[in-house]
Amino acid sequence: MSPLVEAPHWSSDIPLTSPHARLDALAPAGFVRLRDLAEPIPESEYLALEYMDWKSGGDTNFAPVATADGELDCRGFWKPGDERPDKGGRITSNGELCPTIVRYVESVGADFGRVRVIKLEPQDRDTALGQIHRDDNNRFNPDNEGWVVRSWLELTDNPDSYMCLMEQGPDGLPDPATEQRVPLHRGSQFLVDTQRLWHVVVHTGTAPRYALISSFESGRALERWLEREQA
Ligand SMILES: [Fe+2]
């Protein structure tokens, strides 16, 4: 049994395999680090946003920047009777407050779904690992379209905090032997197949950590962005 989380865990039921088109760059490790963003996002763009109480991966609040219908609603893509894949996102009222963030997301060039700024309160490693999970990014995503993955852009500077990533083991739970860590200094950018990798942030700071999380559809456009940003 895994020492991190116990079976049965809801993440273990999320599919790992499917016919969706995936990015070759994510095949080896399930994530790629990109070069740091040259120009930091102004603090005013993420502190002024409207945050909602929404718990995921710890004590979190989320400011939706793009949702299924442009409304400020963290569940927008899965409204009963109007279920949609995590694509075709529309900018919310928060978008007017964060033009640099909106430009950043749009400049990727790929179809984006939910885009949110996360505010995460400090949590030590033991607390964080109790929250490790896989995402259900591809629910309602047609099999013949691109696999939805997620990007991170760190807005605050927490070089000692890290995104903890693990592959799923044969027992359907995260395998600690596969752990990889991505440092969360300001400007740190990375792309993660969060449906494949178990993930959670260990945040050792004393103040909240903010990051931009965006869902993108795998395809040629996202591949080109990776090529640009890995240079
Ligand atoms: Fe997640």
Q: What is the SS3 assignment for 183?
A: strand
- Predicted TM-score (pTM) of the model is 0.96
Cα(150) to centroid of ligand 1, in Å?
A: 9
Cα(88) to centroid of ligand 1, in Å?
A: 19
Whose CA is closest to 116, among 85, 95, 139, 96?
Answer: 95
Cα(133) to centroid of ligand 1, in Å?
A: 6
Cα(143) to centroid of ligand 1, in Å?
A: 21
208 or 4, which is more confident: 208
Cα(29) to centroid of ligand 1, in Å?
A: 17
* pLDDT for residue 56 is more than 90: no
Pick the range with the lowest mean pLDDT from 18-27, 79-88, 109-118, 207-216.
Answer: 79-88
Band of residue 231 on the pLDDT scale cut at 50, 70, 90: low
Give me the mean pLDDT over the 162-175 stretch. Answer: 97
Pick the range with the lowest mean pLDDT from 70-79, 98-107, 172-181.
Answer: 70-79
Q: What is the SS3 assignment for 88?
A: coil
Cα(67) to centroid of ligand 1, in Å?
A: 16
- The predicted pLDDT at position 209 comes to 98
Cα(224) to centroid of ligand 1, in Å?
A: 24
Identify residues whose C-beta is under 5 A from ligand 1, the ion.
Answer: 135
In degrees and rounded to multiples of 5, residue 185 shows phi and psi of -75, 160
Band of residue 79 on the pLDDT scale cut at 50, 70, 90: confident
CB atoms within 10 A of CB 118: 23
* pLDDT for residue 2 is more than 60: no
* pLDDT for residue 136 is more than 80: yes
Cα(211) to centroid of ligand 1, in Å?
A: 13
* pLDDT for residue 46 is more than 90: yes
Cα(34) to centroid of ligand 1, in Å?
A: 19
CA 103 – CA 100 distance, rounded (Å): 5
